[in-house]
Structure 1
């Protein structure tokens, strides 16, 4: 049985698209990669950058297995060979695979560029290099260029690793103006004392009955500064089931990010430490549920690598949504749920 990705690839070829090599392919590309050997389809992202006519970038492979999140982040190089764009691994930068990937095995993808109805695609085949121990693995790559980088697994990960500035299509965020207040020491007035003036010193009486007052330690609850922060709606999800399964993961380096989740202002998941392991919560939405439901992600901290980023997986029956969010000490991220009619 032919894989759906191959069918899509062949259907694109039948449309006789126009190949272009003067085209600017820099930017974020999102899609999937299918492995012939394992028969697995994995999430795949590529960020392509250009500097002095040379194309470089990063790739990010992501999948969830048995409720655990796995990823691999690689540095890549891109070149044109005849009628294809060739993307080749340079090095593995970060990963959390259970076993160390074999040395000397690099992925090489030969992709065709197409543009249909204003949408850009990179489609083609990949193979891995042959070694003494491993035969080449093969498969299919399908990527679509995205203008919105907010729902990316690659960009937040590069941000946390301080590598996002290597991408030419990412504009650096303006540094916040720092208010510097220079305190001038008060001038000490010199007082000339008349020699005829006698100065008496008051005796200091020691009070031995001093009582120490204990200041109570006030514990702040979850989402203590909710009303002090702005809220940004990042996604709208149309659901059809009477219950939704929510699963939380970290969205990059596991660095101690903690979030609280509120639904229409009510706390449903307080103080959740994000990691590669799933944190699950089922919410029930009967017919009496409001037409619009807000799910708000509140950053309790920034972890060791700001900002606080996470992945929310929403399972609505057989449909799954993956929503990546970012929050900090000034901004909350919100997802709006509306029942599909």
Structure 2
């Protein structure tokens, strides 16, 4: 079997190391762990052969004590793709990330084989965006040449609220001796005081959704990835059942920070909800199955059936009190 070459062989590891060192020298800022969580999009920079230059999407789900996990996606011409689980380490002091593709979720490269690899990246901020520059190197020597890569993620910054103007202190005038009142026979018109219209105050964006501890403190274990065609992106039906023997498993299901199923016991009767995908708003949806109880036969197991206009997917999930079983819906462009 042939192995896909992600770029021309002239991009050597030594050159990539030098490039990364140069980038590190111009990145004085440090980033918090929350900065790196989210979806990053980019490309392999070097010219490629065979399947063309792939689009790269990296998801970072969880981070704890500088260790994180997530998924890498590569999309090629002709609807070819690679999807891998990964784990990594974040060096906050030097603004560096290293993450390694550890296992395969799904691959379709036609006649070509695939190579898992490791990303060595440096962080930089550019306006409202964060950038990663670095390189990818194969986990198996000689499987595929090293490739320079970049990634980008937008950062939503909350505007600072307007500071109200300080009121000027009222200075009392010294008392003046009363003079005899002078009667004026002319009628003095009464002028009503009209308050000034309130100035338009810009709306302040709400803070990002804070995930409950059951999500943020448990590992996100992506157990299935479903690619959804653009024609099927609306009103995707999701049914949740117990998988196998009914033993009293109770679950919650979250779509990002939104509760879709709240502490329900799963049985042979489906618990149903709907999700939709949007290229500009939510091209990726994470459905996290959170174990509320493990039933009489641990772990907590469930069957999730996802039905679109043209396809039906059956996904068997397993979760416990340390990890959340996750199904990812990914909108194909």
TM-score normalised by L of structure 2: 0.41
TM-score normalised by L of structure 1: 0.40
